[in-house]
Amino acid sequence: MAPLQGPHHPIRALVTAVVILLLAGCTPWWHRHPANQPGGNQQHCKALVAAQQQLERQREADTQALTALAREPYPPSPVPEPPDPELAKRYSQLDQQLDDERYAAELQAWRLRENQRRQRWNETQRDRRLRLQQRLNDHNRGLGALKPKLGSCPGQG
């Protein structure tokens, strides 16, 4: 995937916030009062509304991603198969004991691996959740910064 593409790229929210700041507040002094220029207020308002809509789309996508993440179940690895009782009947008592011991050792090793695997999965999920929550916070801050500016636009207050 090319840089900055995809709805969940971590830099995308930062780029969007910078663009919004540039559009909304970091303009030269002669553009700060677009009403003083012919058609300036209308263009300014269109840019603000477009920025607002973009932030709202991103916020909605991240909200859906956060909901999907919360619903995502842990995918456990397969449990080792116990010895086949029908097949075990053909073996001597000693071979059956060895199979049972081997299975117990495999099961114990699997439990250890599975606990470690679950911990890594939980950490990954937590990191993903924190990143999504941070992006949602960024979107909300951006929308909050736009709200007063949109108040000067007709039909947007």
Q: How many CA atoms lie within 13 A of 16 on its CB side?
A: 29
Domain enclosing residue 106, as ranges: 10-150
Spatial separation of the C-alpha atoms in residues 21 and 30, rounded to whole Å: 17
Spatial separation of the C-alpha atoms in residues 21 and 2, rounded to whole Å: 25
Domain presence at residue 15: yes
pLDDT of residue 151: 83
pLDDT of residue 114: 97
Residue 75 has pLDDT above 90, yes or no: yes
Q: What percent of the chain has pLDDT over 70?
A: 73
pLDDT of residue 89: 86
Domain presence at residue 4: no
Q: State the average pLDDT over residues 1-16.
A: 59
Domain presence at residue 92: yes
pLDDT in tens, 16-46: 665 565 555 655 544 555 454 555 678 888 8
Q: Enumerate residues 6+ apart whose C-beta is below 8 A from 35.
A: 41, 152
- Across 10-24, 33-47, 80-94, 127-141, the highest mean pLDDT is recorded for 127-141
pLDDT of residue 1: 43
Domain presence at residue 156: no
Number of structural domains the chain divides into = 1
Confidence of residue 116 (pLDDT cuts 50, 70, 90): very high
